[in-house]
Amino acid sequence: MYKIVKYESQDRMGDLICDNYPMLLVLSRFGMSLGFGEQSIGEVCKSNNVDVKTFLAVVNLLIDDSEKIPKIIDAEISIPALIKYLCNSHKYFVEFRLPLIRQELVNALGDNKNDVNLVIIKYYDEYVYEVNRHITYEERKVFKYVESLIDTNVSNKYNIEIFSKRHDDVECKLSELKDIIIKYYPNSSSNELNSVLFDIFSCAKDLESHNRVENALFIPAIKELERLKKID
Amino acid sequence: MGQRVHVFIAEPSPIIRNGVISVLKGISNIDIAEISDVTTLMAQISRYMPDILIVNPSYLGLFSLDMLRSKVGGAIKIIALQYTLLDEAITKQYDDVLSIYSSAEVVKEKLVGVISSSDKSIEKQGLSVREKEIVVCIVKGLTNKQIADQLCLSTHTVMTHRRNISNKLEIHSSSGLTIYAIVNKLVELDNIKSVISSDK
């Protein structure tokens, strides 16, 4: 579906985004806007003060959908830039995407306050609550830890391995809701319901991509940082 | 085939039992358990709910196959272990027949065949009556222990049922099961309102 090539800083930003539309999300999470004309990836990153190596690492990881996690992590990726990306990504899900899907879901289910509709919305709300908890933990505990690691030294109380072990796949329960609606929702299918299902499919995929960045880039980068700090 | 298949061998002769086990050991993804004492057969079956039971038909004695199947909700595959000539009326009640003179390859082939057909049948099947009862209990917020007490089962059996329910429906959370139960009219929302509002 998308071209799988490795992008480099001299490639045009327009080519990257047009050939891989999900990268639109990466663009905005790094705080870059559209309208870059014919500029290269390097130029667009530079004019937006974005670390180009980190941007390319994320882009190339997400474009290559194969399951393998790259073994060698580019030591030159910027951890602050990656944290900013992850925080913006969290914000996107919590403040924009998930509330929008809820709104669509409510519309698609209609005014009928029957039992089934009530429990579906309840399921969804529980899910959002879990995502919030997941994200709050990352931002308050993990990112704070990493920031202090950059400034000072290794902490004995916490390390990234703890996070790595408890980092669960936050998208599973959302996919399950979609499966339940598809298999068991009694009403005849409507355009609204199809539309919200499409959105849930794509949101689950986005969440999976987000997790991939955390597992394949963020965690290994922090492990490397911990190793370097211990040597110091 | 993702998860492991539990195979029980009920055969009084230790020589034959161990022979069958050593032939089966070459098949990947199966767990083998043996039953040597016929009197414990029913109890063991309903406790551990194996996917496949290999049994000597003469050993089965007074237990009827239907009775065995009903104990485990119909999902079990029963294979006759044959070492004398048997009336076809008896063997046709079984899902397959293994002769002790079969080569190791044939035995493996048969078992793999039965395993894959049981995979398909699990997917096609809806929930058994027992499983539906358990869904209702889960939705009402009961713990495994409470469910076991209420339905007179062991907690181990309850957990096996829960695993089978998750596999059949591909629903892994209790709030997902709540939607399933409401849609399929297993419960009314009024019956579980207290659970729903006290969550979180």
Report whether pLDDT(A82) > 90.
Answer: yes
> What's the CA angle centered on B45, arms B37 and B178, to 5 degrees?
165
pLDDT tier, B168 (very low <50, low <70, confident <90, very high otherwise): confident
| B60/B154: higher pLDDT | B154
Distance, CA of B120 to CA of B75 (rounded, Å): 11
Tell me, yes or no, if A187 comes closer than 8 A to chain B by beta carbon.
Answer: no
Tell me, yes or no, if A191 comes closer than 8 A to chain B by beta carbon.
Answer: no
| A199/B88: higher pLDDT | A199
CB contact under 8 A, A184 and B200: no
- Asked whether residue A2 is domain-assigned, the answer is no
Query: Do A87 and A200 sit in the same domain of this protein?
Result: yes
Report whether pLDDT(B122) > 80.
Answer: no
Q: What is the pLDDT of residue A124?
A: 94
Q: Which residue of A lies nearest to B189 if distances are taken between CA atoms?
A: A115
- Asked whether residue A45 is domain-assigned, the answer is yes
Query: Do A119 and A215 sit in the same domain of this protein?
Result: yes
Interface test with A, best of B182, B190, B192, B200 (most A CBs within 10 A): B182
Query: Do A182 and A103 sit in the same domain of this protein?
Result: yes
pLDDT tier, B73 (very low <50, low <70, confident <90, very high otherwise): low
Query: Do A57 and A89 sit in the same domain of this protein?
Result: no
Among B5-9, B88-92, B141-145, the range scoring the smallest mean pLDDT is B88-92
Q: What is the pLDDT of residue A231?
A: 66
Out of B176, B188, B199, name the one closest to residue A180 (CB): B176
- Asked whether residue A123 is domain-assigned, the answer is yes
- Asked whether residue A67 is domain-assigned, the answer is no
Give the mean model confidence (pLDDT) for residues A118-126.
Answer: 91
Measured between CA atoms, how close is A232 to chain B, in angstroms?
A: 45
Query: Do A84 and A140 sit in the same domain of this protein?
Result: yes
Residue B4's CB: how many other CB atoms inside 10 A?
Answer: 11
Average pLDDT over chain A reads 86
Distance, CA of B107 to CA of B115 (rounded, Å): 12
- Asked whether residue A7 is domain-assigned, the answer is no
Q: Which domain holds residue A32?
A: 13-62
pLDDT tier, A105 (very low <50, low <70, confident <90, very high otherwise): very high
Question: pLDDT tens, A191-217?
Answer: 888 999 999 999 999 998 999 899 888
Residues of A in contact with B126 (CB under 8 A): none
Query: Do A149 and A96 sit in the same domain of this protein?
Result: yes
Of A75, A82, A21, A24, the closest CA to residue A51 belongs to A82
Q: What is the pLDDT of residue A132?
A: 93
Out of B176, B183, B184, name the one closest to residue A176 (CB): B176
Q: What is the pLDDT of residue A3?
A: 45
Tell me, yes or no, if A180 comes closer than 8 A to chain B by beta carbon.
Answer: yes
Query: Do A92 and A183 sit in the same domain of this protein?
Result: yes
Among A15-24, A175-184, B28-37, B139-148, the range scoring the smallest mean pLDDT is B28-37
Interface of B with A (CB under 8 A): 170-173, 175-176, 178-180, 182-184, 188-189, 196, 199-200
Give the mean model confidence (pLDDT) for residues A45-70.
Answer: 83
ipTM above 0.90, yes or no: no
Distance, CA of B136 to CA of B134 (rounded, Å): 5
Q: What is the pLDDT of residue A93?
A: 95
Tell me, yes or no, if A204 comes closer than 8 A to chain B by beta carbon.
Answer: no
Tally the domains of chain A.
Answer: 2
pLDDT tier, A64 (very low <50, low <70, confident <90, very high otherwise): confident
Query: Do A38 and A129 sit in the same domain of this protein?
Result: no
Tell me, yes or no, if A177 comes closer than 8 A to chain B by beta carbon.
Answer: yes
Give the mean model confidence (pLDDT) for residues A4-24.
Answer: 88
pLDDT tier, A12 (very low <50, low <70, confident <90, very high otherwise): very high
Which residues have a Cβ under 8 Å from the Cβ of A191 and sit 6 or more positions away?
A: none
Of A70, A75, A90, the closest CA to residue A142 belongs to A90
Q: What are phi and psi of A40, to 5 degrees?
A: -80, 165
Measured between CA atoms, how close is A207 to chain B, in angstroms?
A: 19
Average pLDDT over chain B reads 81
Q: What is the pLDDT of residue B89?
A: 76
Distance, CA of A78 to CA of A221 (rounded, Å): 9
Q: What number does CATH give the domain B129-198? A: 1.10.10.10
Ranges of H-type helices in chain B: 14-24, 41-48, 57-60, 65-71, 88-91, 104-124, 129-139, 144-151, 155-169, 174-183, 189-198
What fold is seen in the domain B5-124? Rossmann fold (3.40.50)
pLDDT tier, B62 (very low <50, low <70, confident <90, very high otherwise): low
Query: Do A107 and A149 sit in the same domain of this protein?
Result: yes
Report whether pLDDT(A123) > 60.
Answer: yes
* Domain residue ranges of chain B, discontinuous segments joined by +: 5-124, 129-198
pLDDT tier, B200 (very low <50, low <70, confident <90, very high otherwise): very low
Distance, CA of B58 to CA of A172 (rounded, Å): 48
pTM of the predicted protein model: 0.66
